[in-house]
Structure 1
Amino acid sequence: MPGQLRDYFVVLPDSVAGAAAAGRLPAPGAAFGRSSAPVASAPGAAAGQARGAGDTLTVVHPSGRPWVVARTLVRKASHLARGEDALVLIGPDRVPDAVLAGLLEGARDRTGLERRLARLPGLYHVIARLSGESWIRGTATGLRRIYHARHPDAGTIASDRPAALARLIDAPLDEGALALRLLDFLPHPLSRRAVWRGVHETGAGYGLALPVAAPGTAAVPGPTEHRWWEPPPGELPLAEGARKVGDAVAASVQAHVGGLDRISCELSGGLDSTALAFAARETGPEALALLTVAARDRYSEDERWARRAVEAARNPAATAVPAPGHHTAPALDHHIVPASDAPYFYADLASTAAELNDEPLPVAPGRARAELLLGRARATGSRYHLTGYGGDEIFLGLPHAYQDLFRGNPLTAWNHLGGLRHQLGWPLLPTLKALLDRSTFPRWLAGAVTAAPQPVARTPLLSWGVRQSLHPWLTDHAKTLIAEEFRAAAEHAEPIDPWRGRHVDIDGVRMGARHFQAMEDIGMTIGLPVAAPLYDDRVLEAALAVRLPERISPWRYKPLLVEAMRGVVPDELLARTTKDHMASDEHQGLREHAPELAELWTGSRLAEHGLVDARRLLRLAAEPFSPVLVEHSISSTVAGETWLRTAENAWPTTPHRTSTTSEAIL
């Protein structure tokens, strides 16, 4: 069964070949890889006119040929044209025409447009045509990304889905990029390496400009990337920054679920999910379902905190300000999933074939667990499900940030590091050496992977990222490919931000946003939209704008989020300073699902590509408590194997019918 594409869009050039390419896109509701009828609009349609066919929307060029083809299964597409200029926004909520007009009118170029777009929640893909040039960009958090490829006949085509472009240009898989995905995580800029040859990702914070042909010529210049987003300086005091964060969180939640009657939230009991649950309550739904998965670990505190949150939410006095237009609190149901019902990690690995993710994601081994939770949420009648994903990356803060603080305020930095050192057991001299290190980003990147064992837990983390060890089951071929990729990237690599801590912070947010897309795809498969409002650009911007020593602290847990949610979340819930983990479920999953893992490595596709030693993986499947699996996570390898099988099955087994001239717009 081929993987399903989630909603997607493609931006096409104004040409006969571009219109013909539209005919190869999947039909509404079709599985990726199956033939489809061409998507096109009638000749002579007005500039920016849109036509719908099922779930597919086509916005046309002034010529009447397709410009934007979007399948909006979950997200909403808003579009408006003024003369030959046009604007399309694709996001969680439809944007009124009056707002679109205010954005488009007077915006002579992309810079002017971006200044106006800063008023909206930062959750939208932006596609604009200004003076004949197409401008396409995603989000700064990386939750929404842009890819482009060179079509042999049509020229540059852009999309938010690399698989869609790979289909249109018949791209093969890229072995080097696939080998990189066998690492536990990919640092910037290697995370941008698309897994299909000829498909390129535009960096988060950058947009793609597609020029038109010069007058009197048929040649169209190639695409160019332009930076549209810069992280704000960290200058605001905590109180002012917290107000901005609170406003951004509320706006993001409203954009996702405002006006819906029945919604649901994951309520793990942690601070992030608790904050989202109370923010969702403020939007005034008729019914709010809160779902908690009980932990097997008897020392876990999550369920106890989740119950406390529900008790507080049922108290009419828990919300300081009633939601506008609502005089009664929503009907609130708390659903606790028994620990015995929750699958271990690595359960039902075959179910990953239901979605064709943009790339292999290490969260794939937890898919069955996520599907259970979302299935229970859907059974409540929920129309949208919210999660607290993104809270750790944005609000927890990483030790690397103290490198930045040390450059401007060494005494405060050393004081904070003293508290952190005692918590993490960092030795004094190695910490001081790491703090004084001034190695460049390219130099760090060149040595960011090693064949040596992983550093001990007490190693200070103050560099441009975390150094990784290559997994012992990778072949020499895979190790060579990975080393070459890192070496090549280091030759021209530039950090996301010149400040080391901000670089690591933003890269961590973007990495988390990528992983969350797997959850979105699961929700789409079962018919329930799922969102992480904290990955809104405005939330990230508001957080980064706060002074560093007030934003993170070794003595306070997520101080910025705590202050931002004060008055929305009861104070007794904001006092939590602990966080549960599920490492035991992962290790137990290796034992419980050893037969499935052994079956996975039998006939391994990764082994066929020469990237893993299948015999060693088979031995490890029979030894789930091997010290090798304690030191090395197998999640990324499992994700790579299951993704590769889905991707290979996604292509049609017979040649795909190409649209003829009569089927497309001329």
Structure 2
Amino acid sequence: WIRGTATGLRRIYHARHPAAGTIASDRPAVLARLIDAPLDESALALRLLDFLPHPLSRRPVWRGVHETGAGYGLALPVAAPGTAAVPGPTEHRWWEPPPGELPLAEGARKVGDAVAASVRAHVGGLDRISCELSGGLDSTALAFAARDTGPAELSLLTVAARDRYSEDETWARRAVEAAGGTAGTGGGHGAAPALDHHLIPAADAPYFYADLASTAAELNDEPLPVAPGRARAALLLGRARATGSRYHLTGYGGDEIFLGLPHAYQDLFHGNPFTAWSHLGGLRHQLGWPLLPTVKALLDRSAFPRWLAGAVTAAPQPVARTPLLSWGVRQSLHPWLTGHATALIAEEFRTAAEHAEPIDPWRGRHVDIDGVRMGARHFQAMEDIGMTIGLPVAAPFYDDRILEATLAVRLPERISPWRYKPLLVEAMRGVVPDALLARTTKDHMASDEHQGLREHAPELTELWTGSRLAEHGLVDSRQLLRLAAEPFSPVLVEHSISSTVAGETWLRTAENAWPAPQLTP
């Protein structure tokens, strides 16, 4: 009996070996190597989408390798003596989302306890640790929780932003000042840890799409859209390791766990329509949603299979003012995908829709949990970079206990159009100073991505010259070469190229993952 996590951060794969029977691993590449599995072209085509919804996210990119669903365990039967064959493995559900019944105050206490327990599980007892301190609420919360485990030395790392309107650095400095001025409360040291704040100049931070060849250092479980930012992540983790840190914490997962998505108001509308409409009113004015399309989306009752069948389209991207209240994000196919790729993708969605069941019968909970699992998958790339550098890296927010404690809180108190991450704010009250919990803004790095397309146009040109994806008939390399020469093309404003870059670099890594067998005497 073997299982991963409900958040999908730890996943289980299995395959049939001709001599050994069913074998299982937490890494599909291991199984693919052992059974000499070929690549699955359809699964590779799916990874060229920006978002891969449940259940298609469970399609490994090697044929004959199968992923066990998050929240399910894998039972591996053993043959009785004298029997001819071992029966196949079976999946059993071990996790169900808790009902959202707790008031904010009680739920916040449970979330605060879960955050503290998760951080202690990672770094409790270690003398030298580090945290990414972007200045945002998530990383600030973890920095103070890590301080309270009582390490002898705590290094906080902030990457300065090129955008002069960015507020992250200012908030990070405030957090360091507050953390250094108050004694630690846990871990047994009895005093505040020695605090080091390392501010990495913006000029040192690579743009996105820098050093794409470095992705060859890790063979992720699948192409992950975070690959274009690998050089930025490697810089931060390399600086953290240089401080002598033995373990590094990041705030990844905080948005997926605590931010909440508009889809949740579909759930609330069933039991409390007045509250749902009041909250939607605030959200509608913030996002510019027109009244009639919002009402239509709110009253829509289409089943999950029907939504899944139409979740990808050749039509242009939906406009930003389109109400988001369905089972997920409807996305457009990128124009550089070939007819072969679009046919494979369409067939995969059609086939999956025939038997698809949602993660949860309620739309909002389904989307919330699917979003957490998508983010947890992407974080694997950061873990693998840490392994390459020699520094364990963790995202404590992806702990099952934190997800459960969050989902257990009443929906209208967990998310709000008028408050930023109210559950996390209340959970960290008393741990993080109130002045830091008052932040309601969040910086973005869109300019670094667009500038990266220009700065690294030669590398992208080289990537699409002799493209492996093109050899598989999945992308039009001539169109990608044209876009590399036109980094500010409107096409690249409407369509992100990240997933395609990730697919190309991953495919090259997978082809060269193992050395050719050498004959030995």
The Cα shift of 1:214 comes to: 3.2
Select the structure of larger CA radius of gyration: 1
Segment of structure 1 superposing worse, 237-246 or 209-218:
209-218
- Aligned residue in 2 for 1:236: 102
CA distance in structure 1 between the partners assigned to 2:473 and 2:397 by the alignment: 39
Q: List per-residue Cα deviations over 1:229-269 (Å, max 9, x = no partner).
A: 00000000001111110111111100100000000000000
Q: List per-residue Cα deviations over 1:155-175 (Å, max 9, x = no partner).
A: 110100000000010000000
CA distance in structure 2 between the partners assigned to 1:186 and 1:276 by the alignment: 29
The Cα shift of 1:216 comes to: 3.2
Instruction: Assess if the C-alpha contact under 8 Å between 2:73 and 2:91 holds in 1.
Output: yes
The Cα shift of 1:219 comes to: 1.2
- Aligned residue in 2 for 1:478: 341
* TM-score, normalised via structure 2 length: 0.98
- Aligned residue in 1 for 2:302: 439
Q: List per-residue Cα deviations over 1:591-632 (Å, max 9, x = no partner).
A: 000000000000000000000000100000000000000000
Instruction: Assess if the C-alpha contact under 8 Å between 2:147 and 2:184 holds in 1.
Output: no
The Cα shift of 1:298 comes to: 0.3
- Divergent runs of 4+, >6 A: none
Q: List per-residue Cα deviations over 1:409-439 (Å, max 9, x = no partner).
A: 0000000000000000000000000000000
CA distance in structure 2 between the partners assigned to 1:318 and 1:376 by the alignment: 24
- Aligned residue in 2 for 1:385: 248
Q: List per-residue Cα deviations over 1:294-336 (Å, max 9, x = no partner).
A: 00000000000000000000112686xxxxx222100000000
The Cα shift of 1:218 comes to: 2.9
1:403 and 2:269 are equivalent in the alignment: no
Secondary structure (helix, strand or coil) at the match of 1:651 reads: coil
CA distance in structure 2 between the partners assigned to 1:585 and 1:278 by the alignment: 29
Secondary structure (helix, strand or coil) at the match of 2:512 reads: helix
CA distance in structure 2 between the partners assigned to 1:386 and 1:354 by the alignment: 21
Instruction: Assess if the C-alpha contact under 8 Å between 2:184 and 2:190 holds in 1.
Output: no
1:160/1:540 CA distance change after superposition, 3 Å: same
The Cα shift of 1:532 comes to: 0.1
Instruction: Assess if the C-alpha contact under 8 Å between 1:552 and 1:560 holds in 2.
Output: yes
1:608 and 2:471 are equivalent in the alignment: yes
- Aligned residue in 1 for 2:233: 370
Q: List per-residue Cα deviations over 1:550-594 (Å, max 9, x = no partner).
A: 000000000000000001000000000000000000000000000
Q: List per-residue Cα deviations over 1:169-225 (Å, max 9, x = no partner).
A: 000000000000000010000000000000000000001001111353131110000
Q: List per-residue Cα deviations over 1:330-387 (Å, max 9, x = no partner).
A: 0000000000000000000000000000000000000000000000000000000000
Secondary structure (helix, strand or coil) at the match of 2:70 reads: coil
CA distance in structure 2 between the partners assigned to 1:650 and 1:203 by the alignment: 26
CA distance in structure 1 between the partners assigned to 2:144 and 2:453 by the alignment: 36
Q: List per-residue Cα deviations over 1:500-533 (Å, max 9, x = no partner).
A: 0000000000000000000000011010000000
Segment of structure 1 superposing worse, 216-225 or 592-601:
216-225
Report the structure, 1 or 2, having the larger helix content: 2
Instruction: Assess if the C-alpha contact under 8 Å between 1:318 and 1:570 holds in 2.
Output: no
The CA RMSD over aligned residues, in Å, is 1.1
CA distance in structure 1 between the partners assigned to 2:110 and 2:80 by the alignment: 45
Instruction: Assess if the C-alpha contact under 8 Å between 1:356 and 1:646 holds in 2.
Output: yes
Instruction: Assess if the C-alpha contact under 8 Å between 1:318 and 1:569 holds in 2.
Output: no
Instruction: Assess if the C-alpha contact under 8 Å between 2:226 and 2:381 holds in 1.
Output: yes
CA distance in structure 1 between the partners assigned to 2:88 and 2:387 by the alignment: 34
Secondary structure (helix, strand or coil) at the match of 1:274 reads: helix
Secondary structure (helix, strand or coil) at the match of 1:351 reads: helix
1:656/1:507 CA distance change after superposition, 3 Å: farther
Secondary structure (helix, strand or coil) at the match of 2:183 reads: helix
Q: List per-residue Cα deviations over 1:470-523 (Å, max 9, x = no partner).
A: 000000000000000000100000000000000000000000000000000001
Q: List per-residue Cα deviations over 1:80-127 (Å, max 9, x = no partner).
A: xxxxxxxxxxxxxxxxxxxxxxxxxxxxxxxxxxxxxxxxxxxxxxxx
Instruction: Assess if the C-alpha contact under 8 Å between 1:245 and 1:561 holds in 2.
Output: yes
Unaligned runs of 5+ residues in structure 2 are none
CA distance in structure 1 between the partners assigned to 2:182 and 2:334 by the alignment: 53
1:115-514 correspondence runs (5 A): 135-316=1-182, 325-514=188-377
CA distance in structure 1 between the partners assigned to 2:45 and 2:15 by the alignment: 21
CA distance in structure 1 between the partners assigned to 2:183 and 2:229 by the alignment: 37
Secondary structure (helix, strand or coil) at the match of 1:318 reads: coil
Unaligned runs of 5+ residues in structure 1 are 1-134, 320-324, 659-666
Instruction: Assess if the C-alpha contact under 8 Å between 2:305 and 2:356 holds in 1.
Output: yes
CA distance in structure 1 between the partners assigned to 2:56 and 2:448 by the alignment: 30
1:283/1:657 CA distance change after superposition, 3 Å: farther
